[in-house]
């Protein structure tokens, strides 16, 4: 099958590579010449394990073609996926300008064969209907189209396996032929098929991300109780999760969730709810607790250390990515800088992105974790990269000015750390 993917961010590029890898011819449309050239040369631009190899393999096989031309690709394609960004506006609603602009360009370049146009970008309920209206307004008479919603559930850091081995494939459309084509495209992937209408498919995506964010904020809320009562959040949530109806996965307390999805999607669902006159206080609390988690973490640091110098391990919003969008680390770094701190920080992948965002001379980025400890009054761990999990306690203690450890992801055993001579602060652990 020949398909077009408009956009080459995480969702676009990963989907394009995976569809090409399963034998389809995939055009990818972008508009920045420099980025397109890098992609054509096999450089995926974004950091994602396994992506460079898959990109190179499918470029070589001639199944992956990058272009800035709608004319070159759209008319040849049976399915067009729109995967451009939907950033949050100031009021929390999703900015759909790029999606609608792409829909217009797609419409103007449709050929005379049946084409399915589907948003893979996360878009609020009703967006695909709007896309349909735009397509009908700008397409030629001979072009026949159907709109579909085909949300993506990939996580950064494991994007390829999430796409190749999905838990479920959600396909929303009122058009039987559209569903048939989409089922055919996804035939090689395992996982349950959920075939539904457009609004259900659109809502499934927001409901999934908001449920996951709710689990995290619930874990953080319980950690606030633990901090004040002597309870241990890991113990509490382990036992809570033993109830099969609840489960333990994705319910870890820490400095809170970040990234380009949960913060934006919880806000967008809140905004949609407000427009529909629905009480959105649950979603508002999820967001509030998330901010509180990172705030309390910094409060704790300020309360317990004497000097004004810290080491930070981990800046990415989660491990295995270089992404720092809405990362808790950005709040922590900026607040500590404001308080007059000097910071030495290390991250396995995200440092060049941090460098672009924060240019304060009091933030020094170092090439390996132990160099960050030099002259620091405490070590703060903000991302649970694997390389931090087996820390060399005697080396850390030797380099730090005082052996204080703030574990923002609960990756260390408090008892062991204390036995090793650290003053240890976890999240919701005493
Ligand atoms: C999330 C969803 O997990 C994907 O299913 C979805 O497709 C994607 O958003 C999207 O909408 O595109 P992602 O943001 O890449 O994926 O990363 P997650 O692994 O979900 O982590 C999000 C944040 O939650 C991270 O900051 C992580 O540290 C935090 N988190 C996660 C916790 O604080 N506690 C947990 O128990 C789990």
Ligand 1 atom closest to residue 323's alpha carbon, by position in its atom list: 15
Cβ-based neighbour number of residue 144 at 10 Å: 13
Provide the pLDDT for residue 121: 86
Enter the pTM of the model: 0.96
Is 153 close to ligand 1, i.e. is its CB under 6 Å away? yes
Residue bearing the CA closest to ligand 1, atom 8: 155
Q: What is the pLDDT of residue 323?
A: 95
Torsion of CA 181, 185, 191, 193, to 10 degrees: -10
Q: In what order do the strands lie in the sheet with 192-196?
A: 64-67, 25-29, 2-6, 79-82, 115-119, 145-149, 168-172, 192-196
pLDDT of residue 2: 98
The active-site residue, picked from 17, 119, 226, 261, is: 261
Catalogue the E-assigned strands of 68-144.
Answer: 79-82, 115-119
Residue 156 Cβ inside 6 Å of ligand 1? The answer reads yes
Does residue 320 have its Cβ closer than 6 Å to ligand 1?
no
**Can you list the domains of the chain with their CATH numbers?**
2-196 (3.40.50.720), 211-425 (3.40.50.720)
Ranges of the chain whose pLDDT falls below 70: none
pLDDT of residue 320: 93
pLDDT digits (tens, 9 = 90+) for 300-315: 999 999 999 999 999 9
CA–CA dist 59, 18 (Å, integer):
12
Q: What is the pLDDT at residue 156?
A: 93
């Amino acid at each position: 099958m020949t398909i077009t993917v408009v956009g080459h961010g995480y969702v676009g590029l990963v989907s394009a590579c995976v569809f090409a890898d399963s034998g389809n011819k995939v055009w990818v449309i972008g508009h920045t010449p420099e980025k397109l050239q890098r992609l054509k040369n096999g450089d995926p631009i974004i950091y994602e394990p396994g992506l460079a190899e898959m990109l190179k393999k499918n470029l070589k096989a001639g199944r992956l073609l990058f272009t800035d031309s709608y004319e070159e690709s759209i008319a040849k394609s049976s399915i067009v996926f729109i995967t451009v960004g939907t950033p949050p506006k100031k009021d929390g609603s999703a900015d759909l300008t790029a999606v609608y602009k792409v829909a217009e360009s797609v419409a103007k370049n449709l050929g005379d064969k049946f084409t399915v146009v589907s948003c893979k970008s996360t878009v609020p309920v009703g967006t695909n209907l709007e896309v349909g209206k735009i397509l009908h307004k700008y397409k030629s008479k001979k072009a026949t189209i159907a709109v579909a919603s085909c949300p993506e559930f990939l996580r950064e850091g494991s994007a390829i396996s999430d796409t190749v081995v999905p838990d479920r494939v959600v396909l929303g459309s009122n058009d039987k032929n559209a569903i048939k084509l989409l089922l055919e495209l996804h035939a090689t992937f395992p996982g349950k098929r959920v075939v539904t209408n457009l609004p259900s498919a659109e809502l499934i995506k927001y409901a999934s991300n908001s449920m996951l964010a709710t689990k995290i904020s619930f874990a953080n809320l319980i950690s606030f109780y633990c901090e004040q009562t002597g309870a241990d959040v890991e113990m509490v949530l382990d036992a809570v999760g033993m109830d099969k109806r609840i489960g333990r996965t994705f319910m870890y307390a820490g400095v809170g969730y970040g990234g380009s999805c949960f913060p934006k999607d919880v806000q967008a669902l809140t905004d949609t709810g407000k427009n529909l006159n629905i009480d959105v206080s649950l979603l508002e609390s999820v967001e509030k607790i998330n901010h509180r988690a990172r705030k309390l973490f910094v409060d704790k640091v300020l309360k317990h250390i004497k000097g004004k110098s810290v080491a930070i391990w981990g800046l990415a919003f989660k491990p295995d990515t270089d992404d720092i969008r809405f990362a808790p680390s950005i709040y922590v770094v900026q607040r500590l800088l404001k308080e007059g701190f000097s910071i030495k920080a290390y991250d396995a992948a995200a440092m060049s992105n941090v460098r672009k965002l924060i240019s304060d001379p009091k933030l020094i980025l170092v090439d390996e974790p132990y160099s960050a400890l030099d002259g620091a009054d405490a070590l703060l761990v903000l991302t649970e990269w694997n390389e931090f999990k087996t820390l060399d306690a005697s080396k850390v203690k030797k380099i730090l000015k005082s052996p204080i450890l703030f574990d923002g992801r609960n990756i260390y055993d408090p008892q062991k750390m204390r036995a090793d001579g650290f003053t240890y602060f976890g999240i919701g652990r005493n």
